[in-house]
Amino acid sequence: MTTLLVTHPACLDHLPPAGHPERPDRLRAINQALEAERFQLLVREQAPAATLDLIALCHPVDYVEEIRAANPKEGIIRLDADTAMSPGTFEAVLRAIGGAAMATDEVMTGKVHNAFCPMRPPGHHAETMRPMGFCFFNTAAIIARHAQKKHGAERVAVVDFDVHHGNGTQDIFWSDPTVMYCSTHQMPLYPGTGAPSERGRHNNIVNAPLRAGDGGDEFRAAFETVILPRATAFSPDFLVISAGFDAHMRDPLANLNLLEPDFAWATQKLMEVADMSAKGRIVSVLEGGYDLQALAGSAAAHVTALMRG
**Angle at CA 46, nearest 5°, toward 33 and 9?**
65
The answer to whether residues 136 and 14 touch, using CB atoms and an 8 Å cutoff, is: no
* pTM, entire model: 0.98
At residue 114, the pLDDT reads 98
Give the residue numbers marked as catalytic: 125
Q: Is the pLDDT of residue 1 over 90?
A: no
Which 8-state DSSP code applies to residue 2?
Answer: -
Phi, psi of 151 (to 5 degrees): -115, 0
> How far, in Å, CA of 5 to CA of 303, rounded?
9
At residue 309, the pLDDT reads 72
> How far, in Å, CA of 219 to CA of 203, rounded?
22
Spell out a b/e string for 43-73, using b for 16 or more CB atoms within 10 Å of the CB, else e. eebebebbeeebbbbbbeeebbeebeeebee
**Digit-coded pLDDT (tens) for 192-223:** 999 999 999 999 999 999 999 999 999 999 99
Contacts of 36 (CB under 8 A, 6+ apart): 300
| For residues 24-39, average pLDDT | 98
3-state helix, strand, coil in the chain (%, to 5): 40, 20, 40
| 114-117/282-286 β-pairing | parallel
> How far, in Å, CA of 29 to CA of 55, rounded?
28
**Digit-coded pLDDT (tens) for 225-283:** 999 999 999 999 999 999 999 999 999 999 999 999 999 999 999 999 999 999 999 99
Q: Fold for 3-308, please state it.
A: Arginase; Chain A (3.40.800)
